[in-house]
Structure 1
């Protein structure tokens, strides 16, 4: 049964993880989002309460 021979499958596993660990992370880290988030001010805007008459 060829499935029990680990030699080719082990190398495929090792090479695929090598690609995942060395090539893909720098490409993902180098990605820049088009809309960078801006920092919000610590002061919240003052809101006025609604003064509605209840009937």
Structure 2
């Protein structure tokens, strides 16, 4: 039964984890956002009350 032979699957498993741990993290960590977030002002925005028209 070839499914029980661990030799090729173990090599695929180790090689895939090698790729995941060495190549992908620098690519993800090098990501930059297009715009830096700005700090909000401490003042609360002025809102107008809404007059409900109740019959």
Whether TM exceeds 0.5 here: the answer is yes
Q: Name which of structure 1's ranges 44-53 and 11-20 shifts more when overlaid on structure 2.
A: 44-53
Q: How many residues align?
A: 55
Deviations 1:3-40 (A, max 9, x none): 11101111110110111111101101101121222222
Aligned pair 1:33/2:36, yes or no?
no
Report the alpha carbon displacement of residue 47 of structure 1 after superposing the two structures with TM. 1.6
Shift of 1:53: 6.5
Aligned to 2:17: 17
TM-score when normalising by structure 1: 0.73
Q: Any stretches of 5+ residues in structure 2 without a counterpart?
A: none
Structure 1 stretches of 4+ moved >4 Å: 51-55
- What is the SS of the residue equivalent to 1:44? coil
Q: CA RMSD in A?
A: 2.0
